[in-house]
């Protein structure tokens, strides 16, 4: 069952820190923040059509939403002068609007000054504070700390904590197009787009980037993570810029998108989770948030406009699928998903990553258990969703070499066309979703959870999902023989899908079915107080938490496997 996942650390493609794009950006941080603020201001004015009334309306809407956020959902990480700043904004807006002595031109000047202040504040808040020395220290801490925990679990004896028998690559398996991403990172700019299931993802991907010998990436991390001291240090050290999902106003969203676009144009490798937030349902993302994704398309067009027509100006999209046997936050995520029922709303972050103690406890439990993670690096694409080769050349679906620049040209030159770029972004989003599913590696835990839930659902076919989840767990059990037959049926279909190139299969699924089931039951939701699946004293299968079982079952939604039932 051996598999060729990465078991070594690559040599860095840029050994000198001064060559790292993110270091170059950090050295010009002050000017870069100003450029972002100015560009976002320009974007807002274009959207409002330079109309005074529309600009005033956007400023007032921003003020209203920010005051509501401060009152209803304050965070410890919020600046101390938050209330004072917005109180001053209100004062200026009210005074400007009611002053009879100001003409239209003077009022517009006042509103533009307020827009300047807000844009600058947002840009400064979003901007990362990368320090290369902190990055190196964090990388060592993560690698050393995780390795010690891993060896403590797998090596018996008093010297286990100091053993180097096992490496993190034995625990976190890196598979896929690792050589390609290294090649392309030295030729153009990488935008890595992973799936998102846990708050652990950010640190995990940061470590993966280091193992692959890539220079540090910048990436958007939820501002709520900066509430926690240890996470705040790691996020800053690993190049995170801050994303505040409480803020839905136009001014903030344009500043955030501008920051991403300008950074990509600067040549800084970037990472963002296109799902926008952790998957509440447990499903691989099907609908992506296209805001940040559109910045990659915009950056590519801007590079071509500046005359960067070679590979150095090319943006490469690399999908990454993260595969877990269990997700620490699964119980709270699925409950949130079920209560929201698809509607976005403001909510307070409430999960198991709320304190440094809980994070430390989770990491100890995770690394001292036998459960593995795999990270699948997908084939790189251009911003139009075409595959690229290791040299960075793009090829359409028929294998013909194409020039991406041609798709941004109108009347012989590269032009801005918002509608055209929206279409490109939508298409790129669809392609990323396809690649997420192709790169998904099916684990034994996914198999047993999917099969069990589908059998329970079939036995109660008259019930809708919500009534099904209200069934008393003590009344639910599956006869092992029938469960085993169903697992074999699903696994057969999974291997057929693998042969068609529609998904990947973990090596532990290539063994006896009883061993596969035992492995899956041991690993699925192994951390939770209430286990989603267990084998009872009679040898049959039971669930202690049907909602959490539903979460893990959802990992295999998207392959039409439910038709088997």
- pLDDT tens per residue across span 389-441: 999 999 999 999 999 999 999 999 999 999 999 999 999 999 999 999 999 99
pLDDT for res 485: 97
Nearest to 182 by CA among 16, 11, 387: 11
Phi-psi region of 468 (alpha: psi -120 to 50; beta: other; left: phi over 0): alpha
pLDDT for res 133: 79
Cα-to-chain-centroid distance, residue 349: 17
Joined together, the tokens standing for residue 241 give 């810029």
User: How much is the mean pLDDT over the chain?
Assistant: 87
H/E run at residue 240: strand 240-243
Burial class (CB in 10 A: 0-12, 13-18, 19+), 289: middle
Overall average pLDDT of the 508-531 stretch = 92
Nearest to 223 by CA among 362, 128, 130, 339: 128
pLDDT for res 342: 37
Q: Which of 87-101, 133-147, 433-447 has the lowest mean pLDDT?
A: 133-147
Overall average pLDDT of the 58-70 stretch = 96
pLDDT tens digits for range 527-537: 788 999 999 99
Which residues, at least 6 apart from 64, have a Cβ–Cβ distance to it below 8 Å? none
Task: Kindly list the structural domains of the chain, giving each domain's residue range(s) and its CATH number in brackets, ordered by start.
Answer: 21-126 (no CATH), 173-439 (3.40.1130), 441-564 (no CATH)
Which one has a higher pLDDT value, 176 or 168?
176
Nearest to 352 by CA among 344, 361, 365, 339: 361
- DSSP secondary structure string, 466-521? HHHHTS-GGG-EE-HHHHHHHHHHHHHHHHHHHHTTS-EE-GGGSS-HHHHHHHHH
Which one has a higher pLDDT value, 494 or 231?
494
pLDDT bin (cut points 50, 70, 90) of residue 201 is confident
The CB-side HSE value for 407 (13 A sphere, CA atoms) comes to 21
Nearest to 509 by CA among 378, 374, 379: 374
Overall average pLDDT of the 31-36 stretch = 97
Strand partners, 340: none
Phi/psi of residue 469, each to 5°?
Answer: -70, -15
Q: Would you say 258 and 302 are in contact if contact means Cβ atoms under 8 Å apart?
A: no
Distance between CA 182 and CA 470 in Å, rounded? 49
Give the SS3 label for residue 192.
strand
pLDDT tens digits for range 259-272: 999 999 999 999 98
pLDDT tens digits for range 290-331: 988 999 999 999 999 998 777 778 999 999 999 988 888 888
Q: Which of 112-121, 176-185, 332-341, 386-395 has the lowest mean pLDDT?
A: 332-341
Q: What percent of the chain has pLDDT over 70?
A: 86
Overall average pLDDT of the 156-184 stretch = 70
Distance between CA 386 and CA 400 in Å, rounded? 10
Phi-psi region of 309 (alpha: psi -120 to 50; beta: other; left: phi over 0): alpha
Which residues, at least 6 apart from 200, have a Cβ–Cβ distance to it below 8 Å? 328, 362
Nearest to 472 by CA among 540, 542, 550: 542
Joined together, the tokens standing for residue 495 give 């291997």
Residue tagged 């075409």 (tokens): 386
Q: Would you say 236 and 128 are in contact if contact means Cβ atoms under 8 Å apart?
A: yes
Question: Would the pLDDT of 364 be above 70?
Answer: no
């Amino acid at each position: 069952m051996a598999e060729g996942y990465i078991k070594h650390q690559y040599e860095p493609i840029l050994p000198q820190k001064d060559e790292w794009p993110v270091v170059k950006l950090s050295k010009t941080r002050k000017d870069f923040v100003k450029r972002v603020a100015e560009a976002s201001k320009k974007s807002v004015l274009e959207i409002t059509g330079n109309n005074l009334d529309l600009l005033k309306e956007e400023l007032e809407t921003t003020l209203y939403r920010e005051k509501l956020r401060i009152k209803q959902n304050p965070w410890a990480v919020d600046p101390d002068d938050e209330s004072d700043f917005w109180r001053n904004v209100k004062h200026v807006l009210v005074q400007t609007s009611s002053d009879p002595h100001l003409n239209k031109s003077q009022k517009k000047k006042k509103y533009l000054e307020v827009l300047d202040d807000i844009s600058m504040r947002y840009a400064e808040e979003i901007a990362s504070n990368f320090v290369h020395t902190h990055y190196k220290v964090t990388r060592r801490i993560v690698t050393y700390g995780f390795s010690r925990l891993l060896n403590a679990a797998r090596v018996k004896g008093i010297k286990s904590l100091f053993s180097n028998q096992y490496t993190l690559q034995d625990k976190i398996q890196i598979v896929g197009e690792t050589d390609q991403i290294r090649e392309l990172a030295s030729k153009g700019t990488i935008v890595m787009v992973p799936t998102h299931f846990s708050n652990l993802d950010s640190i995990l991907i940061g470590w993966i980037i280091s193992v692959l010998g890539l220079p540090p990436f910048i990436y958007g991390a939820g501002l709520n993570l900066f509430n926690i001291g240890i996470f705040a240090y790691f996020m800053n050290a690993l190049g995170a810029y801050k994303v505040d999902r409480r803020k839905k106003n136009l001014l903030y969203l344009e500043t955030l998108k501008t920051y991403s676009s300008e950074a990509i144009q600067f040549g800084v490798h970037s990472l963002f989770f296109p799902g926008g937030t952790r998957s509440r349902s447990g499903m691989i993302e099907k609908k992506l948030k296209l805001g940040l994704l559109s910045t990659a398309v915009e950056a590519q067009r801007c590079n071509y406009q500046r005359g960067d027509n070679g590979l150095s100006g090319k943006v490469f999209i690399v999908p990454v699928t993260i595969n877990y046997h269990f997700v620490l936050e699964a119980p709270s995520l699925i409950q949130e998903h079920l209560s929201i029922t698809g509607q976005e709303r403001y909510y307070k972050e409430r999960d198991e990553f709320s304190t440094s103690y809980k994070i430390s406890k989770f990491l100890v439990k995770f690394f001292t258990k036998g459960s593995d993670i795999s990270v699948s690096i997908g084939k790189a694409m251009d911003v139009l969703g075409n595959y690229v080769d290791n040299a960075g050349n793009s090829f359409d679906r028929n294998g013909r070499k194409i020039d991406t620049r041609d798709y941004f040209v109108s009347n012989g030159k590269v032009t801005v066309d918002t509608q055209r770029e929206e279409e490109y972004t939508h298409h790129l989003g669809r392609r990323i979703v396809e690649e997420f599913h192709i790169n998904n590696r099916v684990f034994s835990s996914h198999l047993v959870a999917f099969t069990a839930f589908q059998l329970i659902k079939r036995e109660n076919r008259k019930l809708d999902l919500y009534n099904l989840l209200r069934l008393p767990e003590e009344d639910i059990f599956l006869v092992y023989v029938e469960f085993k037959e169903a697992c074999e049926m699903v696994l057969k279909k999974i291997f057929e899908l693998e042969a068609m190139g529609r998904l990947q299969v973990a090596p532990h699924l290539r063994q006896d079915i009883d061993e596969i089931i035992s492995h899956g039951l041991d690993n699925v939701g192994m951390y939770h107080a209430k286990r989603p699946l267990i084998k009872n004293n009679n040898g049959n299968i039971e669930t202690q938490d049907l909602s959490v079982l539903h979460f893990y079952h959802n990992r295999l939604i998207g392959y039409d496997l439910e038709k088997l039932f």
